[in-house]
Structure 1
Amino acid sequence: MRVDTTGKISLDHIYTQPDPRAYFGTLRGLGYAIPQLAKPYFLRLIQEYKDATGIPDPTVLDIGCSYGINAALLKCDTTMDELYERYTGPGAAERSRDDLLERDRDLVRARDRSKGAAKNVRFLGLDSSENALAYAREAGFLDGTVHADLERGDPTGPQRELLAEADLVVSTGCLGYITEKTIARVVAVQKGNKPWMAHFVLRMFPFAPVAETLDAAGYETVRAGGMFKQRRFATAEEQAQVMDRLAAVGVDTGGAESDGWLLARLHISRPRATNERVIMDLAAVETVRTEDRRIEQ
């Protein structure tokens, strides 16, 4: 397997197919689980946002959304195991793209906004893969999509209008491949409001530049206690290269990545003017000190 510039194996091909079968087929074998682990945290943040703002129907923007996996989990109250079986189980390979889409639309119609914190929530997706966005939109997982690379330039006028609708911004693994440039451009398009944010970020990628950018924009950032398994290492070479990268940035991998898993931390950012001081009522959080670039580890 080819290794990219971060030391991880390159999985670019699974994000550009006309449907999610290659995505789920590849990641199932690697135990990819971060969207499932993120789900309860996103639900809690959405509910806290509703309670704090009185807005009953917020809009969530998923950065690096690919095929709308986070939206499918939240909107349809499904699980990663269900999605793995849906796209890689018996008979999935024989189905046409249209068959898959119709089956997914049935799922959305049956479960969409049915209960809980995700009730009446609208989901937007930002990604550089046009095929993935098209599938997620046609399936009904996403209510709107932005096909753009905000690392390279500003959004267009129509893209700005759609991004400006975001009340919350989430991600599960894209930070590191995208940087504070994208986050800054998402914040810049807002019309008076500042969306709350929750980002799951691999420990190999420093979060301090993002925290500093958000701090300058009027945010406070906290980091949740604990670590979250993203997926298993695909090869011994990948593990060795990632371990080297972690060591280079001073991260202790004992009992963590050394056990064979890529691990992420959860960072939550919210406007400093927010009256309610508790963020998600987490048992343990640490304020991110932007002057101390080691804190993101």
Structure 2
Amino acid sequence: MAPAQHDGGSGSPARMTRFDDLYDQPDPRAYFRVLGALDYQTPQHAQGVFRRLLRAAVAAAPADRATGERPGTVLDLCCSYGINAALLNHDVTLAELAAHYTSAEAAGLSTAELIARDRRFYAARRRPDAVPVVGIDIAAPALGYARAAGLLDAAFAENLETAAPGPALRQALRGLRLITVTGGASFLSARTFRSLLAEDAAREGGRDLPWVAAFVLRTGSYRPIADGLARLGLTTEKDETRTYPQRRFTDADEQKYAVAAVTAAGDDPSGKESLGHFHTALYVSRPAAQAAARPLSTLLPAP
């Protein structure tokens, strides 16, 4: 997991603008200032999608044998400052968050003062159906903010590409129902998901595996991760009804790269990358029986 991509980054570091420094800040003010100027949209697209998928994943999972409850923990990979958790669990939009963090009032606060303000801000907007969210990221400053602001119930600066999850992370992921990715797929491989899910896949034929929902830039391929998830027992479907604008290009060279990469991948950039924005595609992975029981199209908001 590399901070160049995260939920606001942009893929291949050799050809696309890097945003590494945005994730080494003590709070998300620079993140919203820079990415907001580029019309960054992915977390807003994800808000409604993740809420709907989580409800369906919880309903499809077996109830806990001891309590009869259906836990609904979410794991956000490459979570940075907890933006997905903010949008999932609170009545707020990405545009409202951008205004909140780029306001003149926010500019005059210390990080500690901003955190105190944010805790009040989010507490006033907390949804009654809020769920536990665990975040994983290698950017410790971003994780620290998300935890201090109360957006994440647990946060772990662990790189699952190179090491197995620690015992504390394993404990935090009990009741996991949905894994979300809104950026970072270009820097993840099947190794991360194998580290997270191999033990669960070995139990009960993998019937209790969580779902995975990933917004993936069209400049790369999700096939290696999808193949890895298939080996664990998850079948992957792509939302074929639409693509989702991510952000504007930083310059003409970045657009030229994106158009060429999308074309090479067998997709058509016309009306999408050709008009000035990166676009993502949504991939959803579920246990095969659950995927067969309910078509993906019935789980997503109308195009």
TM above 0.5: yes
Give the conservation status (yes or no) of the 8 Å contact 1:164–1:189.
Answer: no
Pair 1:211 & 2:226 matched: yes
Give the conservation status (yes or no) of the 8 Å contact 1:164–1:190.
Answer: no
47-56 or 8-17, larger mean C-alpha shift:
47-56
Distance 1:110 1:137, change over 3 A: same
**Letter in structure 2 aligned against 1:253:** P
Aligned to 2:289: 273
Give the conservation status (yes or no) of the 8 Å contact 1:57–1:120.
Answer: no
Distance 1:16 1:165, change over 3 A: farther
Aligned to 1:145: 155
219-228 or 47-56, larger mean C-alpha shift:
47-56
Distance 1:20 1:120, change over 3 A: closer
Distance 1:89 1:106, change over 3 A: same
Pair 1:88 & 2:96 matched: no
Aligned length: 280
- Percent identical among aligned pairs is 38
TM-score (norm 1): 0.87
Instruction: Give the drift of 1:93.
Output: 1.2
> How far does the alpha carbon of each residue in 1:132-162 deviate from its partner, in whole angstroms, 9 at most, with x for none?
1110011011101111111222222323333
Instruction: Give the drift of 1:282.
Output: 4.5
Structure 2 unpaired stretches of 5+: 1-10, 64-68
Distance 1:14 1:198, change over 3 A: same
Give the conservation status (yes or no) of the 8 Å contact 1:113–1:121.
Answer: no
**Letter in structure 2 aligned against 1:63:** L
Instruction: Give the drift of 1:165.
Output: 4.3
Distance 1:199 1:4, change over 3 A: closer
Q: Identify the structure with the greater helix proportion.
A: 2
Distance 2:31 2:175 in 1: 29
Distance 1:6 1:248, change over 3 A: farther
Aligned to 2:55: 47
Instruction: Give the drift of 1:231.
Output: 0.6
| 3-state DSSP of counterpart to 2:135 | strand
Give the conservation status (yes or no) of the 8 Å contact 2:76–2:180.
Answer: yes
**Letter in structure 1 aligned against 2:45:** L
**Letter in structure 1 aligned against 2:296:** I
190-199 or 13-22, larger mean C-alpha shift:
190-199
Pair 1:67 & 2:81 matched: yes
Instruction: Give the drift of 1:129.
Output: 0.5
Distance 1:250 1:6, change over 3 A: farther
Pair 1:238 & 2:260 matched: no
Give the conservation status (yes or no) of the 8 Å contact 1:17–1:131.
Answer: yes
Please, which of 176, 183, 199 is the counterpart of residue 173 of structure 1? Answer: 183
TM-score (norm 2): 0.86
Instruction: Give the drift of 1:4.
Output: 5.5
Distance 1:144 1:283, change over 3 A: closer
Distance 1:283 1:129 in 2: 31
Instruction: Give the drift of 1:220.
Output: 1.5
Aligned to 2:127: 113
RMSD of aligned alpha carbons: 2.3
Pair 1:27 & 2:44 matched: no
Distance 1:149 1:237 in 2: 31
Segments ≥4 residues shifted beyond 6 Å: none
Give the conservation status (yes or no) of the 8 Å contact 1:76–1:112.
Answer: yes
> How far does the alpha carbon of each residue in 1:224-268 deviate from its partner, in whole angstroms, 9 at most, with x for none?
121000111111121122223223333321221011000000011
Distance 1:77 1:169 in 2: 21
Instruction: Give the drift of 1:66.
Output: 0.3
Distance 2:263 2:287 in 1: 33
Distance 1:256 1:235, change over 3 A: same
**Letter in structure 2 aligned against 1:272:** A
Distance 2:159 2:135 in 1: 12
Aligned to 1:134: 144
Distance 1:88 1:57 in 2: 36
Aligned to 2:135: 125
Distance 1:138 1:126 in 2: 15
